[in-house]
Amino acid sequence: MAIILAGGGTAGHVNPLLATANAITEEYPGTQVVAVGTAAGLETTLVPAADVRLETIPRVPLPRKPSLDVVRFPMIFRGAIAAAGEILERHDAEVVIGFGGYVSTPVYLAARKRKIPVIVHEGNARPGMANKLGARFAATVALTFPSTPLRAAKGITVSVGLPLKRAIEQLSARPGGRKSLREEAAARFGLDPASPIMLVTGGSSGALHMNEVFAQAAADIRAAGVQVLHITGKDKDDAVRAAAPDPGYVVLDYLSDMESAYAVADLAVSRSGAGMVAELSALGIPAVFVPLSVGNGEQALNARDVVSAGGAILIENKALTAEKVRSAILPLFEGDQLETMAERSKGVSPLNAASRLASIAMRLAEER
């Protein structure tokens, strides 16, 4: 029996796929897991590195404006559906779980033709086109955020959260939670575990505007007695390093294991991609979200549930200034505000999404 996981292109699609693959193989030994992606996305490196089999189909982006691509699209799209169907048949697929992106649409359609149950997992608060299509005939639509406007037309809709790396689940499950590693992680970064620590990160690619603002505010942050662990993004650290006033403002261009950063963070200032929102909420880390104003505006929506619960505040990117850091962010370290925010944040995003998806898939496979 094989469970097919479709998704790719960006880390936002690939990471939940890999977390789900891990849950299936750990909890249901002997079950074959096959990922389907394209030859152009992050899946080409991340999936094999995780020891998951990867099959590829042609990448078929929907043409956004009149061009020759519009003429070519039907033929290429039919070819992608045929390629997906061949993969499903060759692996005797029992269930398909799709995570959105270009690759999911052909796989969804190939599965429908063969009456293979489809699970659509939507990671963002605003659903993408592929998952909107898949939801029309999916057996189950699984949501990261309960407020996401996507429902299964003929099946069931459940809110499961975002499948997270096993390391995040393990960090939360430790006796004492993430704070049990605070001293060890602080020593690694050269920080004082007895003093407050702010994590600043724009994600794996960094955020130039956030970097510039915090470089300008660095001296004031340290004067307030707050330490900083600032992850700038690769090759974006020079200006921040130059502005760092003392060893209490630690600058890294990249960190492979964010779990260490989470272990020391009393407050996180970050973008609000679905993965970051889910990880911070699952661990109960208070946050200041600075959504990136790109795409269809999903980053602001991703933060909505945690902000509404009181576990985070939201500052628009254009409103983030050094003065805003001083007037709106540093005061959060006063009194018991962070403790209250941590309590309200934890649990907004569940920790067991990968296990729940695995369980749903196995149930559907047994019912075929």
Residues of the binding site for UDP-N-acetyl-alpha-D-glucosamine: 10-12, 124, 204, 299
- State the DSSP code for 260: H
Helices (H), 145-237: 166-173, 182-189, 208-223
* H helix or E strand, kind and range, residue 194: none
Three-state secondary-structure class, residue 264:
helix
Distance CA 299, CA 315 (A): 12
- Sheet holding 312-314: strands in order across? 249-252, 227-231, 197-201, 267-270, 287-289, 312-314
Q: Beta 32-37 vs 140-143: how paired, if at all? A: unpaired
Amino acid at 359: S
Residue 140 CA, chain-centre distance (Å), reads 20
Q: Where are the beta strands (DSSP E) in 224-290?
A: 227-231, 249-252, 267-270, 287-289
Q: Which residue has the tokens 């695995």?
A: 358
CA distance 231 to 228: 10
Residue 63: DSSP 8-state: P
CA distance 156 to 139: 6
- Binding-site residue numbers are 10-12, 124, 204, 299
- The helix or strand, by DSSP H or E, that contains position 314, with its residue range, turns out to be strand 312-314
